[in-house]
A = this chain, B = another copy of it.
Amino acid sequence: MRKQNDQIPFIMLDDKNAALPLFRQIYKAIRAAILSGEFAPKMRLQSSRLLAENLGVSRITVVNAYEQLFAEGYLEGKTGSGTFVARELPETMLMTKNSKRKNDAEKFGLENLQLSNFGRKLESKNVNAVRGNAQVLFTPFQNGLTAVEEFPFETWAKIANRINRNPSKKLLGYGSSQGFAPLREAVARHLKSARGVNCTAEQIIITSGAQQALDLTARIFLENGCAIVTEDPCYLEARNAFSATNAKVISIPFDEEGLNAANIPEESNIKLVYVTPSHQYPLGVTMSLSRRLALIEWAKANNGLIIEDDYNSEFRYAGRPLASLQGLDSSGRVIYVGTFSKTIFPALRIGCMVVPPDLVEVFTNARALNDVHSSIIEQAILTEFIAEGHFSRHIRRMRMLYRERQEILLDECEKNLKGLLEIKKADAGMHLVGWLPEGVSDLEVYEKGIERGLKLSPISLYSVNPPKRGGIIFGYTAFNRKETTEGINATAEIINEILSNQKE
């Protein structure tokens, strides 16, 4: 029996594993010895009794470690006949110690991996300002943020708590990929009355924000060899989603009436036209009725579809919100995209789309394949929030607040940026565009803004054809009077600095 003891090196427990349970320490020590080649294949191990004795631990501790090693294939052997290092350890297993990396975050040198076309477009060197890993802080004048401090969280929490404490089973298993049915009903009612959308709940698809709606639509229709038309300038994340499919993105400038269908080139392979008719993003133009109708005609004549991104139409400060383009169409040529990011808060990640009945199944199946569905409990909370009237009430309150915040922004610009920035009151939206003096680069303003803790998004980033003048997007909805005042002061300093540098 003593002989066996000499046969194999003594197992050393590593101090750095001291916090682990004993059996785990033993497991790791033996595993390391096998992987390093110290314990060769077919080598006999000490019996669990002997090893326990040697290590001064209970036998069950060693048995546990051995069992784990058996289960994982490091050891083999039958009760009674002894315990051996497995005979069939591939060569390379023994070499793993040589390829150990210095630290966990170190890269492996996988540069030769072949990504798909889609994958290559998303490598960082090729990505143009996708949101990516950046946490968006509430930095003036970041656009698309809401006045979160004004959201009725007490009410939201009360509804959430009611549902979370005792959820019905239908909120917990796998649900419909089309979306939680009561939410689809509530959304259809809201879109019909507030947006003139012509739909039933059967046409609603609940998405994880508007971005997923755009991505799904891109995947379902676009690929190499076909094309999509967008406005120029255009919402960047939409354009990124379209171009990632490898389709051609045709960017068309527009005038004060919006995109003109007559300017769409005659190419047989244009499948989609992406527009923001209520309030062009980023320039704020409202598409005129005749242009809307002409675009619908184009779609019918060219077997195309229109994506109507109605991202912030709830916020109109004069007159009533314009009815949706979708509501004008009687041919099923419009895919309507909406979002709750601008009305609830962005982190919620719930949006919606209205698709012609013909396309409900393919969108639902695509959503199932993409990520099954959105959190059902959150969908249920939102449903109650809408049904109890809190949603409409909150929008009405925010409409007043945002109108006031736009006025504050304009007042501050008048005080500090007169002659330096051309910026006009708008009847709708959550941002204004300020046009810079000729010769001042919006990218330079943007970069200097970052240094001073400002997010002054430049129009040229959103443009394919360079704009005649540089422009800055001023989101105003998430910032109070103090933040706006300080932000505009800093913006004025930046522009003045650039101008005085130019004179030198």
Contacts and interface: CB of A to CB of B under 8 A. Distances in A.
Interface of A: 20, 64, 67-68, 71-74, 86, 88-90, 92-93, 96, 99-101, 104-119, 122-124, 127, 130-138, 144-146, 148-149, 151, 153-154, 156-157, 160-161, 164-167, 169-178, 193, 198-200, 202-203, 207-209, 211-212, 215, 219-223, 226, 237, 240-241, 244-245, 271, 286, 288-290, 292-294, 296-297, 300, 303, 305, 319-320, 322-323, 328, 330-333, 345-349, 356-359, 361-362, 364-366, 368-378, 478
A157 to B, nearest CB: 4
A458 to B, nearest CB: 19
Contacts of A68: 319-320
A317 to B, nearest CB: 13
A64 to B, nearest CB: 7
B364 A200 contact: no
A130 B374 contact: no
Contacts of A332: 107-110
Contact of A208 (B86, B107, B119, B371): B371
A162 to B, nearest CB: 9
Contacts of A176: 133-135
B365 A198 contact: no
A146 B122 CA distance: 36
Nearest to A89: B290
Given A20-B193, A135-B173, 8 more contacts: A104-B198, A107-B357, A108-B332, A117-B223, A134-B176, A153-B165, A161-B164, A211-B372
Contact of A124 (B92, B113, B297, B365): B365
B294 A115 contact: no
B211 A371 contact: yes
B349 A371 contact: yes
B211 A178 contact: no
Contact of A92 (B144, B240, B297): B297
A453 B344 CA distance: 39
Contacts of A369: 122, 130, 211, 215, 237, 240-241, 244
Contacts of A114: 221, 226, 271, 303
Given A153-B166, A347-B171, A378-B378, A130 B207 contact: no
Contacts of A166: 153
A124 B361 contact: yes
B349 A372 contact: yes
Contacts of A113: 221, 303, 305, 358-359
A202 B105 contact: yes
A119 B207 contact: no
Contacts of A173: 135-138, 145, 148, 345-347, 478
A293 B136 contact: no
B157 A71 contact: no
A177 B289 contact: no
A367 to B, nearest CB: 9
A358 B290 contact: no
A326 to B, nearest CB: 12
A125 to B, nearest CB: 9
A245 B369 CA distance: 11
A45 to B, nearest CB: 16
19 contacts: A72-B289, A86-B290, A93-B328, A110-B358, A113-B358, A114-B221, A116-B220, A127-B365, A132-B361, A133-B177, A135-B173, A145-B174, A157-B161, A208-B374, A209-B371, A215-B370, A237-B369, A349-B371, A349-B373
